[in-house]
Amino acid sequence: MRLFQAAFEALQAGDAESLRTLLAQQPGLVVERDTNGNTLLNLAVSLGARPLGEMLLEAGAVGGWRRADFAVPF
């Protein structure tokens, strides 16, 4: 979960290079979820971080996933 938190912090900061490095270290981050059921892609969309969201899609993230509360954030 520490790498997921670091990736989330990179999203918040708009730090593409850090996010790219984290995804290279742990490609499975694109499918991990936080305690609310959000993936990194969900978080990127909610932050309006389109370029980082596109990076996540290129890394294998899948859109349309439902959170634990069955909401689709985008």
**Tens digit of pLDDT for each residue in 6-49?**
999 999 999 999 999 999 999 999 999 988 888 999 899 889 99
Two structure tokens written together for 3: 């790498």
What pLDDT is attached to residue 18? 97
Kindly state the average pLDDT of the residues 53-71: 78
- Inter-residue contact 44 to 54 (CB < 8 Å): no
* Residue 74 predicted with pLDDT over 60: no
Tell me the C-alpha distance between 61 and 55, whole Å.
9
Question: What is the C-alpha end-to-end distance of the chain, expressed in Å?
Answer: 23
Q: Superfamily for 2-58?
A: Ankyrin repeat-containing domain (1.25.40.20)
